[in-house]
């Protein structure tokens, strides 16, 4: 690279990686005094600017990458305020419009139904069980096998832990009470509730309260107290049900494969490992927010009615889930491979959870 172009790259942060190149090898200059060029990457996430926990963790990621690279990598973060497309992250990264994205995999079942399995699945693994599957049970490799078809590499991005079953205007006492109910509930769980008569939909974060207020929605699930309370849903729909459908929802970082391939190994390593660390940080931050806000609900929101779905409703949901899983097993070899991997891992992980953590929690009650 000639000196004029190198200087231009240093001064003009927005230049593409191709124009700037990624190392100094071509100059033959290996002395430490050689100027290090800056790598500038564009990242889009699917939340409003500054959105607590989900959006904040992306800002943390960008800051962490900057620190770990000693300022040599700059990530420019765009929220939905800028790009206006809460569910466009998959396409942004696939096309290369953005180098990196952060979103939930199950928003993209319409693009590729095999992406539905990499957030959370109803009646499936908890956060820690699913982390073990991703990192030690082949889950991350399977996710990358699916996403490679779309020119995307993925890394885990943070987990919500157990999600609540949602906010309802009225109490749910039977399966009949669910029929015709307009509910925001994305992913595989949306298909499951459709099987018992609910009309599921997905709506961007920033529009949820208004949709509930205007009656576009009768009910919604969002996350859990840490994120739900500030949204104000309890003012309209005071029945807050315990969870079944998202026992540990993971967000993902998406990396455009071509953008990654242009980077030197150290930069790729920082991008992947900073995501991994950010995932851990977000997971513990969401747990902390849940504990804080659950305490607030219990002590300051007497109108919130915390409920469990009746056994009849849960049985109907399990039946619908089983029917859908059976159909997915037959749909494609890839779907079968992922589902069987999840099921086998759940069987082993849950046996340990039951004799480990669950037995301990039962002991504490006695």
109-125 burial by CB neighbour count: b if 16+ within 10 A, else e?
beeebbbbbbbbbbbbb
Q: Is 164 helix (H, G, I), strand (E, B) or coil?
A: coil
44 and 89 Cβ atoms separated by less than 8 Å: yes
- Least distance from C-beta 167 to Ca ion, angstroms? 11
Nearer to Ca ion, 129 or 246 (CB): 246
Span of 62-70, 104-112, 173-181, 241-249 interacting with Ca ion by CB under 5 A: 241-249
Q: Residues touching Ca ion: how many (CB under 5 A)?
A: 3
* Residues 221-240 close enough to bind Ca ion by CB under 5 A: 221
Nearer to Ca ion, 153 or 221 (CB): 221
- Least distance from C-beta 247 to Ca ion, angstroms? 11
217 and 203 Cβ atoms separated by less than 8 Å: yes
* Residues 246-275 close enough to bind Ca ion by CB under 5 A: 246
- Least distance from C-beta 106 to Ca ion, angstroms? 9
Span of 126-134, 157-165, 255-263, 339-347 interacting with Ca ion by CB under 5 A: 157-165
Span of 44-52, 80-88, 110-118, 216-224 interacting with Ca ion by CB under 5 A: 216-224
Other beta carbons less than 10 A from residue 326's beta carbon? 11
**Structure token pair of residue 114:** 């095999």
User: Looking at beta carbons, which pairs linking 143-149 to residues 24 or more positions away fall under 8 Å?
Assistant: 143/105, 143/118, 143/252, 145/334, 146/112, 146/114, 146/115, 146/118, 146/334, 146/338, 147/115, 147/254, 148/257, 149/112
Span of 8-16, 143-151, 218-226, 234-242 interacting with Ca ion by CB under 5 A: 218-226
- Least distance from C-beta 179 to Ca ion, angstroms? 22
- Least distance from C-beta 39 to Ca ion, angstroms? 34
* Residues 273-332 close enough to bind Ca ion by CB under 5 A: none
Span of 4-12, 15-23, 245-253, 326-334 interacting with Ca ion by CB under 5 A: 245-253
Phi, psi of 251 (to 5 degrees): -90, 160
Calpha distance 277→225 (Å, rounded): 24
**Structure token pair of residue 361:** 């929690």
Nearer to Ca ion, 54 or 134 (CB): 54
Task: Name the site residues for Ca ion (rule: CB under 5 A).
Answer: 163, 221, 246
């Amino acid at each position: 690279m000639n000196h004029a172009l190198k200087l231009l790259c240093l001064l003009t942060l927005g230049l593409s990686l191709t124009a700037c190149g990624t190392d100094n090898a071509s100059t033959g200059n290996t002395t430490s005094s050689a100027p290090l060029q800056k790598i500038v990457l564009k990242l889009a996430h699917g939340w409003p600017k500054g959105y607590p926990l989900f959006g904040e963790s992306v800002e943390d990621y960008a800051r962490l990458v900057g620190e770990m690279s000693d300022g040599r990598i700059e990530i420019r973060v765009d929220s939905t305020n800028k790009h206006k497309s809460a569910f466009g992250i998959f396409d942004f990264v696939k096309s290369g419009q953005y180098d990196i994205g952060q979103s939930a995999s199950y928003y993209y079942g319409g693009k590729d139904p095999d992406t539905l399995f990499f957030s959370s699945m109803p009646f499936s693994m908890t956060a820690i069980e699913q982390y073990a599957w991703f990192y030690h049970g082949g889950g991350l490799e399977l996710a990358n096998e699916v996403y490679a078809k779309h020119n995307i590499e993925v890394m885990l991005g943070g987990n919500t832990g157990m999600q609540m079953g949602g906010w309802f205007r009225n109490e749910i006492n039977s399966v009949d009470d669910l029929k015709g109910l307009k509910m925001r509930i994305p992913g595989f769980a949306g298909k499951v509730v459709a099987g018992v008569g609910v009309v599921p939909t997905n709506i961007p974060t920033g529009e949820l309260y208004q949709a509930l207020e205007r009656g576009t929605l009768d009910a919604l699930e969002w996350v859990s107290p840490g994120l739900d309370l500030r949204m104000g849903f309890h003012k309209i729909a005071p029945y807050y049900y315990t969870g079944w459908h998202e026992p540990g929802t993971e967000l993902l970082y998406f990396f455009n494969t071509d953008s990654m391939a242009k980077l030197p190994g150290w930069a790729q390593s920082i991008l992947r490992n900073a995501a991994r660390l950010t995932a851990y940080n977000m997971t513990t931050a969401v747990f902390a927010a849940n504990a804080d806000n659950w305490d607030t609900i219990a002590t300051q929101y007497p109108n919130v009615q915390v409920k469990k779905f009746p056994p009849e409703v849960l049985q109907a949901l399990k039946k619908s889930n089983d029917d859908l899983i059976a159909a997915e097993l037959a749909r494609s070899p890839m779907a079968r491979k992922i589902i069987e991997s999840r099921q086998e891992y759940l069987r082993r992980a849950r046996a340990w959870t039951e004799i480990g953590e669950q037995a301990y929690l039962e002991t504490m009650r006695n």
